[in-house]
Amino acid sequence: MTDLVYRSVAELSGEIRTGALSPVTLLETVLARVERCRGLNAFITVTADAARAQARDAEREIARGQYRGPLHGIPVSLKDLIDTRGVRCTCGSRILADRVPSADAAVVERLRDAGAVLLGKNALHEFAFGITTNNPHFGPTRNPWGVDRIPGGSSGGSGAAVAAGLGPVSLGTDTGGSIRIPAALCGVVGLKPTFGRVSRHGVFPLSWTLDHVGPLTRTVEDAALVLQAIAGPDPRDPSTLGQSVPDFRAGLRTSVAGARVGVLADEYHQEMADDVRSQFRAALEVLSGLGFRLEDVRFPRPAETRAAAQAVILAEASSVHEGWVRERPGDYGPDTLDLLRQGLFLTATQYLRAQKVRALLLGEADGLLRPYAALVAPTTPVVASAIGQKMVALAGREVEVRGAMTRLVRLINFVGLPAISVPCGFGADGLPVGLQFIGRALDEATLLAVAHAYEQATPWHTRRPPDPPEHL
Amino acid sequence: MATVEDLERIAALTGLRIARSDLERLLPFLNALYADLERLGALPIAGLGPAFTPKRWEESRAR
């Protein structure tokens, strides 16, 4: 059973296609694992009965020779701010605790079309506005690698679920690192595509100009397979791009040996815990050994980028929530309410100044990336902190956990570039460390090829967390 | 530097009911953010319009 729940989509789909593995058997095995790991609190809602019906349908279709592709019959879970027809979508909040959407989000439509079996809705930080997934309404989600530790966030339930074998795929969202942070802290893969590559229609917004939807998986190949299914233009989301979608899985076989990779230096190097630094250096040696040409580069204006990104997320999130913040402040958790209220004290000119800075940075970031197949940096400068911990030591000073965790990822949302976090070893207390690759706009194919080359040269994606205690 | 009284005036102007103790907690974060945003004015952005999406990537590739 343990072996089956840790197989990749690529492995499972091969067996499902030939009939060697029944989607019903796979689903029942995963559901048993979900039940065994309830203490992790990775799910808000498990849709077992609906999933069983979908798995039976998949089995019948495949038996009739109507195989749809690599996600057919694969259990997939969704961060609980992605709309699901007839299944409540809480956004991790009290305010929307009983909301039942009447339609699927665009990405859910695409997953259904691909034949995926929708397993349930993953826990998240309240309204996706935070990185701990210590949710005041649904309880804290626990990191499978250390159950007293946060899984990261805001897609923390997604990270914990994939790491613990509760399905090989979850879809998350990333506004300031919320796919890559839980991927790093839980030791799995998290892909934030280029802004506009994946429709956000039917996904509850945090920040319209920063939100991205993407997969958390256990391998880079699986991330490519899921991106293939969910990418593409959607007239209901005007931010989506009209670009054709390449064959991402085929792109993994493209040779990237000898390509130039920029190593983010400067602030990226200066503020990093010792255990993360040592794993990062080891990762650079692996990349060098693979034939990549490593060169130190500097991200343009990181301090200014962080400030502008903070202004944009605060202002846009406060606009989304303005009515509820005024009328129902007591229904928010304190950390979310504080952030939303801060945004109400920003002026329109401050917001637009931040968006003008973004115009400047878009050009500079594109210029920086142009000669490189990818940039590389740690995903987070520290490993998972304890549940409830507010401050963390970084470069000899105490900083807020939220600020530390978003420090190396938020910049990338602001310029809309694709980025992926892959496991790169273990730090203090045996907790995972993540390695972040950042790609050129709309060139996820090369980004995935670089990340895949690194992954295949290391054992980290094969490591499994211990089973959680029976009674958490 | 903004003061709690400044925040109280803004809250009153915009119809936001918020306790003084809450404003006192928000004040240091807002002052730090205001200072950061003030510094952004020194960047060469005078001739730029705000960028809300990366559509220009698509446009630049089409050229």
Q: What is the pLDDT of residue A17?
A: 97
Is A304–B39 a contact, with Cβ atoms under 8 angstroms apart? Answer: yes
pLDDT at A134 > cutoff 80 = yes
Give the side-chain half-sphere CA count within 13 A for A407.
23
Q: What is the pLDDT of residue B58?
A: 55
Residue predicted with more confidence, B51 or B21? B21
pLDDT single digits (tens) A401-423: 999 999 999 999 999 999 999 99
pLDDT at A54 > cutoff 80 = yes
Q: What is the mean pLDDT of residues A195-209?
A: 97
A366 membership: H or E segment, kind and range: helix A348-369
pLDDT single digits (tens) A258-292: 999 999 976 666 788 999 999 999 999 999 999 99
Q: What is the mean pLDDT of residues A100-111?
A: 98
Query: For residue A26, which of A76, A64, A69, A61 has the smallest C-alpha distance?
Result: A76
A419 membership: H or E segment, kind and range: strand A419-426
Q: What is the mean pLDDT of residues B30-56?
A: 89
Q: Which residue of B has its CA nearest to A349?
A: B37
Is B45–A344 a contact, with Cβ atoms under 8 angstroms apart? Answer: no
B50 CB neighbours in chain A (<8 A) are 352, 355-356, 358-359
Q: What is the mean pLDDT of residues A224-241?
A: 95
Contact A260, A252 (CB under 8 A): no
- Among A357, A366, A413, A443, the residue to mutate for chain B (most B Cβ within 10 A): A357
SS (H, E, C) A32-95: HHHHHCHHHCCEEEECHHHHHHHHHHHHHHHHCCCCCCCCCCCEEEEECCECECCECCCCCCCC
Q: What is the pLDDT of residue B52?
A: 78
B22 CB neighbours in chain A (<8 A) are 338, 341
Task: List the structure tokens of B51.
Answer: 């960028």
pLDDT single digits (tens) A364-376: 999 999 999 999 9
Q: What is the mean pLDDT of residues A354-370?
A: 94
- Among A27-41, A96-110, A230-244, the range scoring the smallest mean pLDDT is A230-244
Count chain A–chain B contacts defined by CB atoms under 8 A.
104
State the DSSP code for A390. Answer: -
Q: What is the pLDDT of residue A471?
A: 78
Average pLDDT, chain A: 96
Tell me the percentage of chain B whose pLDDT exceeds 70: 84
State the catalytic residues of A.
79, 154, 178
Q: What is the pLDDT of residue A246?
A: 95
Q: Which residue of B has its CA nearest to A212?
A: B53
pLDDT band of A437, cuts 50, 70, 90: very high
Task: List the structure tokens of A81.
Answer: 């701010």
Contact A4, A74 (CB under 8 A): no
Tell me the percentage of chain A whose pLDDT exceeds 70: 99
- Among A66-70, A253-257, A323-327, B22-26, the range scoring the smallest mean pLDDT is A253-257
Q: What is the pLDDT of residue A266?
A: 66
pLDDT at A357 > cutoff 50 = yes
B57 CB neighbours in chain A (<8 A) are 194, 241, 366, 416, 441-442
Q: Which residue of A has its CA nearest to B29?
A: A342
pLDDT at A138 > cutoff 70 = yes
CA separation for the pair A186, A151 (Å, rounded): 6
Q: What distance in Å separates residue A199's CA from the closest CA in chain B?
A: 13
Task: List the structure tokens of A391.
Answer: 């401050």
The partner residue sitting opposite A360, judged by closest CB among B29, B30, B48, is: B48
Query: For residue A159, which of A126, A125, A203, A136 has the smallest C-alpha distance?
Result: A125
The pair phi, psi for residue A120, each rounded to 5°, is 160, -170
Q: Which residue of B has its CA nearest to A357?
A: B45
* A interface with B, Cβ–Cβ below 8 Å: 194-196, 209, 239, 241-243, 301, 303-304, 307-308, 310-311, 314, 326, 329, 338, 341-342, 344-346, 350, 352-360, 362, 366, 415-416, 441-442
Contact A147, A40 (CB under 8 A): yes
Is A344–B16 a contact, with Cβ atoms under 8 angstroms apart? Answer: yes
Mention every residue, 6+ apart, whose C-beta is less than 8 A from residue A413.
A174, A175, A176, A177, A192, A195, A210, A212, A309
pLDDT at B61 > cutoff 60 = no
Q: What is the pLDDT of residue B62?
A: 46
CA separation for the pair A156, A405 (Å, rounded): 13
* B interface with A, Cβ–Cβ below 8 Å: 7, 10, 14-18, 22, 25-26, 29-30, 33-34, 36-37, 39-41, 43-45, 48-58, 61
Q: What is the mean pLDDT of residues B43-60?
A: 76
What does the domain layout of chain A look like in residue ranges? 2-303+354-462
State the DSSP code for A132. Answer: S
Angle ∠(A156,A161,A163) on CA atoms, nearest 5: 95
pLDDT single digits (tens) A25-48: 999 999 999 999 999 999 999 999
pLDDT at A143 > cutoff 70 = yes
The partner residue sitting opposite A239, judged by closest CB among B18, B53, B61, is: B53
Query: For residue A253, which of A217, A224, A293 has the smallest C-alpha distance?
Result: A224
Q: What is the pLDDT of residue B41?
A: 93
Is A441–B54 a contact, with Cβ atoms under 8 angstroms apart? Answer: yes
CATH architecture entry for A2-303+354-462: Alpha-Beta Complex (3.90)
